[in-house]
C-alpha cells in the first residue's frame, strides 16, 4: 500500500510529453521548430497558418529531440503549432543564413540537490548567454571522438544540466558512472549552428540519482495511514 501511494505521487509529479520548446520569439521564413520529449512521444505535430490551412512540414526524429521543418519558406504572419494543445508563433523578417557565435568560455560542475524523492546529481553548465531565438545543442561521447557514440540533446536554458533527476534522465541513455567527453554549440531558429566548443573545466565523479530518502517518505505515508485509520 505504501509503495502504491509513493508510486502514484511520483507519477503525478512527473509528466510525460513535451519537455522543452520555445516559440516566444519571431521565426524567420526559413525557421525550424525544435522540441524535446520525455517519456511517451506525443502525436505528430501539425502547423497551421492564419487561415487554418495545414503547412506542409517534415518531422525529423533526432533521438533526444525533434525538428519540424516547413517544406517551403513561411510567409510572414501568425501560425499555430498543434502539439499537446495549440502553441502560437509568429514569422517575420527575412531568411536567416548567418551562423551564431560559439558559446565562448564555460565550465561544468557536479551539483547535488536534495529533493523529497532523493538526491539529484547533475552536471550543470555555467552561464552561456543565448539570444532569444537561440538554443544549445550538447553532445556527449564516451569514446571522446564524437563520431561513433555521440548523443545529442538540446536546451533552451542558459545554465543547462545533464544527468538523472527524479523525473527525467537527460539524455535518456545517460549512465551516471561513465565519464563523458562533452561539447556544446549554439543553434538559431533557422537551424544555423556555431562551431563546437568544449568546456574549460569539467568536474569528474559519480553523477546520477540516489533515492536514499525513499524510506523516510514511506514512514511518513505509514504514519498518515495510521492516523486515518484511527479516525
The two beta strands, 201-202 and 107-115, are parallel
Cell of 63: 533521438
pLDDT higher at 41 or 171: 171
Is residue 3 scored above 70 in pLDDT? Answer: no
Q: Sorting pLDDT into bands at 50, 70 and 90, what band is 86? A: very high
Output the furthest CA–CA distance in the chain (Å, rounded): 69
Condensed to tens digits (0 to 9), the pLDDT of residues 126-159 reads 999 999 999 999 999 999 999 999 999 999 999 9
List, in sequence order, the alpha helices (H) in 138-212. none
Burial of 65 (0-12, 13-18, 19+ CB in 10 A): buried
Condensed to tens digits (0 to 9), the pLDDT of residues 29-49 reads 999 999 999 877 788 999 999
Condensed to tens digits (0 to 9), the pLDDT of residues 173-215 reads 888 778 899 999 999 999 999 999 999 987 644 344 433 343 3
Sign of the torsion formed by the C-alpha atoms of 111, 194, 158 and 16? negative
Domains of the chain, first to last: 18-91 (2.60.40.1220), 107-214 (2.60.40)
Q: Sorting pLDDT into bands at 50, 70 and 90, what band is 222? A: very low
For position 2, what pLDDT does the model report?
38
The mean pLDDT value for 14-41 works out to 90
Condensed to tens digits (0 to 9), the pLDDT of residues 38-77 reads 877 788 999 999 999 999 999 999 999 999 999 999 999 9
Q: Sorting pLDDT into bands at 50, 70 and 90, what band is 117? A: confident
Amino acid at each position: 500500500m505504501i509503495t502504491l501511494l509513493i508510486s502514484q505521487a511520483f507519477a503525478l509529479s512527473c509528466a510525460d510529453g513535451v519537455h522543452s520548446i520555445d516559440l516566444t520569439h519571431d521565426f524567420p521564413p526559413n525557421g525550424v521548430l525544435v522540441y524535446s520529449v520525455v517519456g511517451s512521444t506525443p502525436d505528430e505535430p501539425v502547423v497551421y497558418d492564419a487561415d487554418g490551412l495545414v503547412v506542409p512540414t517534415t518531422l525529423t526524429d533526432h533521438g533526444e529531440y525533434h525538428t519540424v521543418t516547413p517544406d517551403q519558406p513561411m510567409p510572414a504572419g501568425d501560425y499555430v503549432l498543434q502539439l499537446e494543445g495549440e502553441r502560437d508563433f509568429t514569422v517575420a523578417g527575412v531568411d536567416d543564413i548567418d551562423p551564431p557565435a560559439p558559446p565562448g568560455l564555460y565550465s561544468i560542475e557536479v551539483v547535488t540537490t536534495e529533493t523529497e524523492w532523493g538526491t539529484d546529481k547533475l552536471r550543470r553548465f555555467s552561464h552561456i548567454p543565448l539570444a532569444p531565438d537561440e538554443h544549445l545543442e550538447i553532445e556527449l561521447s564516451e569514446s571522446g571522438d564524437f563520431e561513433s557514440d555521440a548523443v545529442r540533446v538540446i536546451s533552451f536554458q542558459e545554465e543547462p544540466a545533464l544527468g538523472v533527476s527524479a523525473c527525467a534522465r537527460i539524455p535518456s541513455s545517460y549512465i551516471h558512472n561513465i565519464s563523458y567527453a562533452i561539447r556544446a554549440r549554439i543553434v538559431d531558429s533557422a537551424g544555423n549552428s556555431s562551431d563546437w566548443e568544449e568546456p574549460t573545466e569539467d568536474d569528474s565523479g559519480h553523477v546520477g540519482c540516489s533515492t536514499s530518502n525513499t524510506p523516510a517518505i514511506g514512514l511518513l505515508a505509514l504514519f498518515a495511514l495510521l492516523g486515518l485509520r484511527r479516525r
